[in-house]
Amino acid sequence: MVVELISVGTEILLGNIVNTNTQYLAEKCALLGLSMYHQVTVGDNRERLFAVLETALNRSDVVILTGGLGPTEDDLTKEVCAEVMGFDLVEDEHTRERISKYFKNNIYKEIPDNNWKQAMIPQGATVLDNNNGTAPGLIMEKDGKTAILLPGPPNELKPLFTEQVFPYLQSRQPEVIRSQMVKICGYGESQVEDKLIDLINTQTNPTIATYAKTAEVHLRVTAKAANEDEAKTLLKPVVKEIKSRFDNAVYTTKEEETLEMAVVRLLKKHELTVTTAESCTGGLIAGRLVNVPGASEVFREGFITYSNKAKRKYLDVSKGTLKKYGAVSEQTAKEMATGGVFASDADACIAVTGIAGPDADGEKPVGLVYIACYMKDKVKVEEYHFKGNREKIREQSVVKALDFLRRSILSNYH
């Protein structure tokens, strides 16, 4: 089944907002095994939206449109879809009642008249109740073609898609399609492909697809089968083989688990606490950790010691070390990690110091980063030479630091 995405909104064309909806929907459609050949963005213009939708319905089985379902005059998606597909608009009492309750629950004194526009529904369409806004989603089917209309705000779109659209599209598939993600740190995309080239070239079901991320590689293993049990049976040996080839470089096989989630999970499992000591990353590592629900159980403190004075004051890095070796050095990284543990009474500390640029520090090049991990009365240091701009160097440093902490836990407690 071929699916196409249409993003509606002049603000997207002008770059006023980042279109994260397309990325989200594309990933979910791939997970369903749907084929996708086109993604289109169109402004709030009736004629252009009409032409884009007409073309999409001619070449695709399912068209998913996002945005343009609001109450204002420039919200045209529903009206244009109804016109293209030949549906009359009628008032839906169920939707009208939901809009009324939404405003009452939010303590509005009166409901703007233009909001009742959202209760006008293409006759015969399936209404998708929106629990996070006033614009319902819609599924319109005619002559073997389907248009799915979703509100633009991601906090409305994602729950609607997950709870109602995903199961609907899944039911339309002639086969059961299941995917499993394998997430890897410590290898580049070309290295991963080289180690798996025999599987990639010979596996037709399941298939293996690689996705390069910042300092990570994600693999999606996808199987098609007559039922879910068969699909799982197909997936299991392939995922097991991938894990055996990369060993501890695989940090999760769960779709939604991030690297920081995997780290927090391990810290909890072994009842460990951790502190961060950051220079060039400026608190980004701590930020990633505290984004994880429950991190308060394991995260002790975060030190941002950007200056030499701060390194000495908070982490007890010696003046002699800084003078002899410099702030960006293996020796300073070691003392930062050690000082972090003793300053916070944590079980471990991950420390980072480096040159993110844009200017080099004397003979030390941009991209030189030292990461130290103190654990079980030992401190180890890894040296990296990252490429890219300031932002990318800092991002790579964060991922490598989290992975270093993860690997240190595995080596010390497994």
pLDDT at position 103 is 81
- If asked whether residues 295 and 395 sit together in one domain, one would say yes
Query: Do the Cβ atoms of 19 and 25 come closer than 8 Å?
Result: no
- If asked whether residues 117 and 204 sit together in one domain, one would say no
The DSSP secondary-structure symbol of 249 reads G
pLDDT at position 232 is 93
- Expressed as residue numbers, the domain containing 21 is 2-172
pLDDT at position 108 is 63
Looking at 252, 284, 310, which one is the last position of a domain?
252
pLDDT at position 196 is 96
Arithmetic mean of pLDDT, 159-163: 96
Convert the pLDDT of each residue in 71-105 to its tens digit: 988 899 999 999 999 999 999 999 888 888 888 77
Q: In the chain, what are the helix, strand and coil shares in percent, each to the nearest 5? A: 45, 25, 30
pLDDT at position 116 is 87
Residue 106: pLDDT above 90?
A: no
Q: How far is CA 308 from the centre of its chain?
A: 35
pLDDT at position 109 is 63
The token pair that represents 105 in the structure block: 């629950």
Looking at 128, 153, 172, which one is the last position of a domain?
172
What is the distance between the alpha carbons of residues 95 and 101, in angstroms, rounded to a whole number? 10
Q: What is the CATH number of the domain that holds 209?
A: 3.30.70.2860
Convert the pLDDT of each residue in 21-35 to its tens digit: 999 999 899 888 889
- If asked whether residues 26 and 7 sit together in one domain, one would say yes
* Cβ neighbourhood burial of 326 (10 Å; 0-12, 13-18, 19+): middle
Phi, psi of 59, deg, nearest 5 = -110, -5
- If asked whether residues 283 and 354 sit together in one domain, one would say yes
Instruction: Tell me the CA distances in angstroms from 217 to 184, 192, 193, 260, 406, one per residue in order.
Output: 5, 8, 10, 15, 16
pLDDT at position 101 is 84
pLDDT at position 51 is 98
H-state helical runs in 291-389: 308-315, 319-325, 330-344
**In which element (H, E) is residue 54 found?**
helix 46-59
Other C-beta atoms lying within 10 Å of the C-beta of residue 76 = 20
Arithmetic mean of pLDDT, 138-146: 97
- If asked whether residues 285 and 337 sit together in one domain, one would say yes
pLDDT at position 269 is 97
Q: How far is CA 100 from the centre of its chain?
A: 34
What is the distance between the alpha carbons of residues 328 and 223, in angstroms, rounded to a whole number? 47
- If asked whether residues 195 and 166 sit together in one domain, one would say no
Convert the pLDDT of each residue in 232-245 to its tens digit: 999 999 999 999 99
Convert the pLDDT of each residue in 373-401 to its tens digit: 999 999 999 999 999 999 999 999 999 99
pLDDT band at residue 133, thresholds of 50, 70 and 90? confident
Strand pairing report for 299-304 and 274-278: parallel
* Closest by CA position to 184, among listed 238, 248, 244, 235: 248
What is the distance between the alpha carbons of residues 236 and 277, in angstroms, rounded to a whole number? 40
- If asked whether residues 8 and 125 sit together in one domain, one would say yes
Number of folded domains in the chain? Answer: 3
Residue 251: pLDDT above 80?
A: yes
What is the distance between the alpha carbons of residues 220 and 230, in angstroms, rounded to a whole number? 18
What 3-state DSSP class applies to 223?
strand
Mean pLDDT across the chain, nearest whole number? Answer: 94
pLDDT at position 319 is 97
Q: What is the CATH number of the domain that holds 357?
A: 3.90.950.20
Angle at 8 between CA 129 and CA 3, to 5 degrees: 75
What 3-state DSSP class applies to 199?
helix
**In which element (H, E) is residue 285 found?**
helix 284-290
Looking at 252, 284, 317, which one is the last position of a domain?
252
- If asked whether residues 282 and 143 sit together in one domain, one would say no
Amino acid at 315: L
What is the distance between the alpha carbons of residues 93 and 116, in angstroms, rounded to a whole number? 11
